[in-house]
Structure 1
């Protein structure tokens, strides 16, 4: 049920745009009306929720989620993905254009996606479009229809209905996106480098890691940045796993290229040295790299080089992961590549961030404020501030729990975090001032790109 109006949520640890401090947050009609000193607001006939020392965070914004529905609903779906999001403190997701059938590469495909999602979403959601060979004419209509930007792969995507772009395709797509003011989001691995890498099937993670070398990312990012310079497009590098790309991004920004980048919880919290042979729950592309690389990603994150930390939640059925416990071979080369982690991103990142001396305000900047800025939702999402949607999370930063894959809300019981103890527990998630109760009816809304969301910021 929604709060009686108005309502106040009180916390001694409210994470605000100015930092963490005690505060009262006044909610009216689903929005934050006022942020005031702790204990100062009187609600009369309204409701008061006093969280005590439990932290109050803005709802997370996850701009990299593969929902896969329709077409591959057995992999995931809107109901299960958004239920997992809410349980993990995520109040807004942006759905990727592939792994569903049809993909979101035409207005008709977008319409199918939107219709399928109706009445199923426990959180707010928007949609990315796709830029693939031959659909340049579809980009402007999709942009007008409200997609948040366009995803392209520079290497094969893994599904036939979403082919990767060659150099000429990329040039044409970025030129068109520059013309219409759209954001290009790119899976950056170079197919020639991948083809030249050793391809050794089997259960040893080290062999899979050798098949996706850091050079595949650096070559692809270098090519993308050259094309962005020529076309003037605004580009965003998805799921950076290799710290070797960071100098390229710094140089490009200095030269005026409008480029941002993200990384993911699994690159920040897991390491190649920890991956057991045959445990293909850890497989993703680009791959989880070694501990030294992980440390370098954390340094870059602390220095503000990533605009966002987002899940890249890309689950599949256990049989496609070839997991030995489900009778599979454990062959990393043949298994589906994708990490299932939508519900666990916040505690996973907080567990490691706290160990490294970071604060909840840092985590909010990486996982809420930054992603909202990326997709033009600043002012409505990503902050506890007047005028924003009352998307809020009661988060116990000291709560510990063990991860049991079968107890998570996403559709299939597979995650590389299984068996781990994480610190930080989501106690309640509010969407526009209403506590999300997955035993009731879902009330998430479908979002479209704000008409004026064309940030000029390059980092």
Structure 2
């Protein structure tokens, strides 16, 4: 097999099962310093290297890349912070995350705000961290500077974001932002729900989940995606559709690609594992926007992943404090919309994938290789020579029952609490070193420039 570098190897990990870009195999990973320098046969001698032997029930995976995480730090650190979020990430096999430009204060909509966020994260990160910028009304002139400062792209909303300091783009503003971003070949990532459609939907009040579902209809998502695709074709801007929940957008995406539109799309663990039919009354820990939809819709999302129309799976980890979830009233209309799952994304997806006959290499591609490719992280997401030695030891046949109080998330709120999941993350390496959550953090801050 291919090999790079000299002979002063530091570490060899021998894995009877390993997921590489070619699929699952038995092999040894040879690491020198922070990089993978060779993929060798299982029993190849590597003199002088530290030896790690995986158990027969363990699989070596590339560290996951989660490109959709709301860390909320600084400004709303009672919701989440870089210490708690990156510990949760490492415990869940995630070695790289990209932080959203909201709900921190200030939002990442100009270079000074980005610098504030980087200073905040610098001494707290247990995994590698990159940053998205934001596209909001009035900051078009800031976009190029943010791009040059290293953000991986720009997030926008087409309706109220949930926080007043990150307002949505109207249609003309969206087109102008896309034209500007296309001028430097950047990436726009879009929360695609149409505000007019939702404004005319029934208002949501009370504990009935069906009422909440009716207030965020599929057509809001469908209409917004059609508009984004239309403008992407007109402007030439590269676009990415966030957290697809409506399977009805899948043919829209497929047709757009056939016509050369540069559009990708993601979905999330909660849309793949949870269904509207199973949400209890008043269980606002299940509330997210767009919402968890019906079982038949979920089946079609899985088909879209298999067919390659949906490209990746990321968590959209969007935590809050318990009071914002309105557990006292169970009112879906007033509760914060967001699901905490950063530490649980891999076992949540694997549990459902295994049930559906989906192979582990497919899950790894969706949760590691594809997110890395989306943001241009050229040394992340694969076990291959030249890549960072970001690795995860996963026991796919292990099982556990989720106890929210034991998670590293700052707030013990998750719809998976009490749920039995398959797949246990046993160890994580970041750039060739084991991640020790009791030691000092050693994650790096990543930029588009040095990716």
Q: Do they superpose with TM above 0.5?
A: yes
1:46, distance to aligned residue in structure 2 (A): 2.1
List runs of 5+ in structure 1 lacking aligned partners. Answer: 454-459
1:168 alignment partner in structure 2: 172
Paired with 2:99 and 2:9, the residues of 1 have a C-alpha distance of 32
CA displacement, residues 128-159 of structure 1 (integer Å, 9 cap, x when unaligned): 00000010000000000000000000111000
- Decide whether aligned partners of structure 1 residues 80 and 152 sit closer, same or farther in structure 2, where only a CA change above 3 A counts: same
- Name the residue aligned to 2:390: 391
Following superposition, the deviation at residue 52 of structure 1 comes to 2.8
- 2:102 maps to 1:98: yes
Verify: 1:361 aligned to 2:361, yes or no.
yes
Task: Return the offset for 1:44.
Answer: 2.8
The CA deviation at 1:208 is 0.3
Following the alignment from structure 1 to structure 2, what is the Cα–Cα distance between the partners of residues 170 and 49?
51
Equivalent residue for 1:145? 149
* C-alpha contact (below 8 Å) 1:238/1:262 kept by paired residues: yes
* Equivalence for 2:341: 341
Deviation at 1:38, TM superposition (A): 1.0
Question: C-alpha separation between the residues in 2 aligned to 1:251 and 1:66?
Answer: 31
**How big is each residue's C-alpha offset from its partner over 1:73-99, in whole Å with a ceiling of 9 and x where there is no partner?**
000000000000000000000000010
1:439 maps onto 2:438 in alignment: yes
The aligned counterpart of 1:457 is: none
Q: Does structure 2 conserve the Cα–Cα contact (< 8 Å) formed by 1:234 and 1:258?
A: yes
Kept after mapping to 1: 8 A contact 2:398/2:424: yes
Match among 261, 264, 270 for residue 260 of structure 1:
264
Listed one character per residue, the Cα deviations across residues 234-270 of structure 1 (whole Å, up to 9, x for unaligned) are 0000000000111111111111110000000000000
| Aligned with residue 29 of structure 1, among 18, 29, 33 | 33
8 A Cα contact 2:9 2:30, kept in partner: no
Q: Is the 8 A contact 2:17 2:24 kept in 1?
A: yes
1:413 and 2:417 correspond: no
1:48 aligns with 2:47: no
Structure 1 position 423, deviation (Å): 0.3
1:396–1:425 Cα contact (<8 Å) kept: yes
Cα deviation, residue 5, structure 1: 4.8
Runs of 4+ in 1 over 6 A off after TM superposition: none
CA distance in 1 between counterparts of 2:204 and 2:73 reads 33
Q: Give me the whole-angstrom Cα distance separating, in 1, the residues matched to 2:9 and 2:117.
A: 34
TM-score, structure 1 normalization: 0.95
Q: Distance in 2 between matches of 1:258 and 1:149?
A: 14
**C-alpha RMSD over aligned residues:** 1.0
SS of equivalent residue, structure 2 residue 446: coil
Residue 107 (structure 1) aligned with residue 111 (structure 2): yes
**CA positional deviation for 1:6:** 1.4
- Supply the distance in 2 between the matched residues of 1:266 and 1:68 (Cα, whole angstroms): 20
Matches within 5 A, 1:65-214: 65-214=69-218
SS in 2 for 1:295: helix
Aligned length: 443
What is the CA–CA distance in structure 2 between the aligned matches of 1:187 and 1:274, rounded to whole Å?
Answer: 25
**Corresponding residue for residue 4 of structure 2:** none
Q: Normalised by the size of structure 2, how large is the TM-score?
A: 0.97
Cα displacement string for residues 302-333 of structure 1 (whole angstroms, at most 9, x for unaligned residues): 1111221000000000000112xxxx211001
Aligned-partner Cα distance in 1 for 2:448–2:365: 21
Distance 2:389 2:229 in 1: 38
